[in-house]
Structure 1
Amino acid sequence: MTALALARSWRPKTFSELVGQDHVVKALTHALDQGRLHHAWLFTGTRGVGKTTIARIMAKALNCTGSDGSGKMTSEPCGKCPACMEIDAGRFVDYIEMDAASNRGVDDIAALLEKAAYAPSNGRYKVYMIDEVHMLTNHAFNAMLKTLEEPPEHVKFILATTDPQKIPVTILSRCLQFNLKQMPVPLIVEHLEKVLAAEKVEYEVNALRVLAKAAQGSMRDALSLTDQAIAYAAGKVTEESVRGMLGTLDDAYLIRILDCLIAKDGASLLAVANEMGERSMSFSLALQDLSSLLQKIAAAQVVPESVLEDWPEAGEIRRLAGQLTKEEAQLFYQITITSRPDLSLAPDEQTGFAMTLLRMLAFRPGNGGGGSTAPSPAAPSAPPVNTARPSSAPAARAATPTAKSAPASAPVRAAAPAPAAAFPTPSAAVPAAGNPAEHPDWHALMRQLPVRGLVQQLAHQTELQDWNDSAVGVKATIVTPMPQLASEASVGRLAEALTAHFGKPVKIVIEKGEVEGKTVAKVDAQIHQEKRMNAEQMIAADPFIQQLEKEFGAKVVGGSVKPL
């Protein structure tokens, strides 16, 4: 004979055996003890939290006759009388369980309500349990409204659903509603310890913690996974065997990933991803576990006492909380949770996971856009750009307009064919670094600098206030109305681009305030506004548009015209 599944053999048979639903048990036992019973109850909650189990216990409590056959309705069914034993066996004629998913029509409900008019055969009450009641059609709901509101004295209705939002309010108003809670991980672990001890199965507490986490609040799922783990391990249920069965990630991998991010070691990050791929781990679950770990780290940074001592990774969480900044923890968490849906769009999950790690490395605050700390390849090419300019620049340009000393009217792209230069050669709008008397054309300079992203936004939202050029370097004082863009990393990258452009160190000093002139962003916005107005005028003057407006009363939607 095959063994009964743990989820069935350990199904609670009394209210005292129920786990995690004390608020429901308290209300129902008090109602049974005082004899103040409603005629309809609605139990809501996710799968595996006890909806059907409570319905069966309620049916036993309503129909229990005691071991001597003379007992009355009680909150503690004996489990030995014929009614209790038949309900446990699933053959009590006056307890009817109906699956609304397969009996959802009005005819099914009409047949059920027709039988409800007859007195119970063996029990004290007829108890109708309708599972997944939200699957009923609107006509079926309407058909049961009157009976549900005023049923016969011998009839009790118990409704159960995982989606109460789909139940009409007319049904909800006729029932006492109880919301069953999801099981917390510590409570599931405690119950699994009790079960495995009774089943005489050896286990590791960390293994039960992994099973409880994988159950996602469902006690039935936890027991089913435990059944699977016992079969998989063929003996002692260990953390290693459970993780192998579930394909979940060992916390050691997650900690290695964060250590590599802290060290800015991109090669090691990819090595960890490849190692996980070789072990066929679930990368979606890996991102889920990584986001959970980052949440604990972020909580530890704000509330250190939130780290519990019984966590196996408690020490590592405290260490990482001290090495990561709050901004980094928040950023990594955000990247992790937003990257999970992208795994299905990637060529394969491992590629998507590796790109997520590289994204964390690239966008880490103060990282400079990459995981390598090597100097920029543009730095060696900067001196040739500077030395190519003669000391007497104006005279030399007028006398010998060669390729090395471009004339004032030469465009910036003329210097692009030179393979040695990493950045475009400055135009005449930007003076030579050796001429401190002239300020550069800041607008032209900001447009031609090879910067992107936030650094480009910062460049376009600034205006030059002071330009102090000396033999050792340049000090540029700029003002911006958007200081939130002037992070340390963005200012540093802008200074690096200017240093490469002029061939000498450039130090940037940011001042907050309104600009007197117009920034690049303001000029671009003004140009775009003028183009849009011209486009609207052209549309308004178009004969075909005018004919449509005249004959059909058509109107051009404001703001819908966009310039090409």
Structure 2
Amino acid sequence: MDGSTHETADTGHYRVLARKYRPESFDDLIGQEPMVRTLTNAFDTGRIAQAYMLTGVRGVGKTTTARILARALNYAVPGKVDRPTIQMDELGEHCAAIMEGRHIDVIEMDAASHTGIDDIREIIEASRYKPAVARYKVYIIDEVHMLSKAAFNGLLKTLEEPPEHVKFVFATTEIRKVPVTVLSRCQRFDLRRIEAGRLIDLMRGIVGKEGVEIEDEALVMLARAAEGSARDSLSLLDQAIAHANGKVEAAVVRSMLGLADRALVIDLFGDLMSGEIADALTRLKNLYDIGADPAVVLEDLAAFTHLATRLKLAPEAAADDSLTEEEKTRGVAFAEKLSLRVLARTWQMLLKGIDETCAASRPLAAADMVLVRIAHAADLPTPDEALRAIRDGGAPAGRGASPPPS
């Protein structure tokens, strides 16, 4: 979403980090290089589409990108630039108003609260008139998938052949709900989830500007919790700064997010893989006592199971910046010791167990039973191993479990 280096004027009111550091140009966007490259070429050659469709998960910058696109379409610096361009090195005469959502010729509409054909008729009627002061009249429709069928149908003709002075920019998190008749009239851009490493760099730069100290492990936790969303990462960072009231330490963030210590989760994983159910249950109870959510502990176990599987199949995954040193070293050790069948079976049991725990009236008890199943299954033979042992005349023996790597 963003990497903006500017700050807004102090108005006496606190602005959350996600708004304060909202990007204002394509140079500020992070993680969306393919889209920026395509738009750069299109604007340089004058091949500007009449409608754009921006899609992606929450917080990757769809609405922000729509405003930047409106700014680029109407970019003008008296005596210097008077054409659409994405090279916006200085503030143009319309830029501030567009980015603040108050420009008369850039109309933003939330389709979630304006779903009907009457709302679209207003747009169609208003689109006939030329912009008041800007080059283009730009309609930004957020959550466009919420429009009714009649509203979509009413928009089709204008969308296909809009007046020369009108551009449409749509944003949606549910691209499959947008009719193909609308998609076919738009130039589509899929905004990507932002990699954890880039989110960490983004947050590290912002805390530097804010004069806040934060531990690297805390940044890793926040980046993971954001799941590729820049807005979520900055909202969580805001919360962590307020929660810590000083230096933001990993323990504070862990408590805020309801997470378990990664090292303790890996220890728990080792207990399960060696069939040490008593130790596993004690460790889970200790995690619960210090505030960890049982379902989140199971999710962390599933994440580590996935990591060990990836490291077994693709060792280069250990170079991921979002991994702690503990996860890298012990993850590689488990990947070497455990069979792929055991890892896959553990993953499946954890996925089912997470749903059970979330729905249970007693989450800790439900999580205990999930651990019991996994620990007892860890040293059981797989069906083909059991059949092979019976065919060979011996008793089937478990081959999946191994002593946990130290």
Normalised TM-score (structure 2): 0.88
Shift of 1:259: 2.3
Write the deviation string for residues 342-394 of structure 1: whole angstroms up to 9, x where unpaired.
Answer: 113434111111111110111123489xxxxxxxxxxxxxxxxxxxxxxxxxx
1:295 aligned residue: 306
Aligned partner of 2:357 among 343, 347, 350: 343
Give the whole-Å Cα distance in 2 for the aligned partners of 1:65 and 1:489: 83
Task: Give yes or no for the alignment of 1:491 onto 2:393.
Answer: no
Deviation (angstroms), 1:70: 5.5
Q: Secondary structure at the match of 1:225?
A: helix
Question: Which stretch of structure 1 is more off in the superposition, 320-329 or 86-95?
Answer: 320-329
Answering whether residue 373 of structure 2 is matched by residue 352 of structure 1, we say no
Distance 2:280 2:224 in 1: 26
Residue type at the aligned position of 1:257:
L
Kept in 2, the 8 Å contact 1:365–1:489? The answer is no
The 1:171–1:303 alpha-carbon spacing in structure 2 relative to 1, beyond 3 Å, is: closer
Matches of 1:355 and 1:2, distance apart in 2? 50
Q: Return the letter of the residue paired with 2:155.
A: M
Q: 1:3 aligns with which of 1, 14, 33?
A: 14
Which residue number corresponds to residue 9 of structure 2? Answer: none
**Aligned counterparts, 1:232-311, within 5 A:** 232-308=243-319, 311=323
**Higher mean C-alpha displacement, 19-28 vs 283-292:** 283-292
Distance of 2:394 and 2:231 partners within structure 1: 51
Matching residue's letter, 1:147: T
1:366 touches 1:489 (CA, 8 Å); kept in 2?
no
**Alignment deviations for residues 229-284 of structure 1 (CA, whole Å, 9 cap, x no partner):** 11111122221111111111211221121222244322211111211221231222
Give, in angstroms, the shift of residue 184 of structure 1. 1.2
Any idea what SS the aligned residue of 1:97 has? strand
Return the letter of the residue paired with 1:64. Y
**Structure 1 equivalent of residue 209 of structure 2:** 198
What is the distance in 1 between the residues matched to 2:53 and 2:393? 57
Question: What is the CA–CA distance in structure 2 between the aligned matches of 1:35 and 1:309, rounded to whole Å?
Answer: 40
Q: Paired residue for 2:196, among 180, 185, 195? A: 185
The 5 Å alignment of 1:396-407 reads none
Provide the C-alpha distance between the structure 2 equivalents of 1:294 and 1:70, rounded to a whole number of angstroms. 55
Q: Does 1:318 align with 2:332?
A: yes
Question: In 2 relative to 1, CA 267–488 (structure 1 residues): closer, same or farther, beyond 3 Å?
Answer: farther
Gapped runs of 5+ residues in structure 2?
Answer: 1-11, 399-406
Residue 112 (structure 1) shift: 1.3
1:17 and 2:21 matched: no
Question: Which deviates more from structure 2 when the two are superposed, residues 143-152 or residues 343-352?
Answer: 343-352
- In structure 2, the partner of 1:209 is 220
Query: Structure 2 matches for 1:431-510, cutoff 5 A?
Result: 483=388, 491=396
Q: Give the greater-gyration-radius structure (CA).
A: 1
* Match in the other structure for 2:116: 105
- Percent of counterpart pairs with the same letter? 38
Give the match for residue 135 of structure 1: 146
Q: TM-score with structure 1 length normalisation?
A: 0.64
> Distance between the aligned counterparts of 2:362 and 2:124, measured in 1?
53
Q: CA deviation at 1:82?
A: 2.7
The amino acid that maps onto 1:73 is P
**Contact kept in structure 2, 1:264 and 1:361, CA below 8 Å:** yes
Matches within 5 A, 1:53-68: 53-66=64-77, 68=79
For residues 231 and 484 of structure 1, the distance between their equivalents in structure 2, rounded to whole angstroms, comes to 60
Counterpart residue type for residue 146 of structure 2:
M
Decide whether the 8 Å contact of 1:361 with 1:367 is kept in 2. Answer: no
Q: Secondary structure of 2:292's partner?
A: coil
The residue type paired with residue 295 of structure 2 is S
Higher relative contact order (CA 8 A, sep 6+): 2
Distance 1:367 1:268, change over 3 A: farther
For 2:189 and 2:135, how far apart are their aligned partners in 1? 24
Shift of the 492–32 alpha-carbon distance from structure 1 to 2, 3 Å rule, reads: closer
Cα displacement (A) at 1:319: 2.6
Show structure 1 runs of 5+ residues with no match: 369-453, 459-481, 494-564
Check conservation: 1:49, 1:183, Cα contact below 8 A.
yes
Q: Tell me the distance in 1 between the aligned counterparts of 2:183 and 2:39.
A: 18
**Cα distance in 2 between the residues matched to 1:255 and 1:79:** 50
User: How far apart are the structure 2 equivalents of 1:238 and 1:182?
Assistant: 26
Q: Which amino acid aligns with 1:360?
A: I
Q: What does residue range 401-416 of structure 1 map to in structure 2 within 5 Å?
A: none
Asked if 2 retains the 8 angstrom alpha-carbon contact of 1:7 and 1:220, the reply is yes
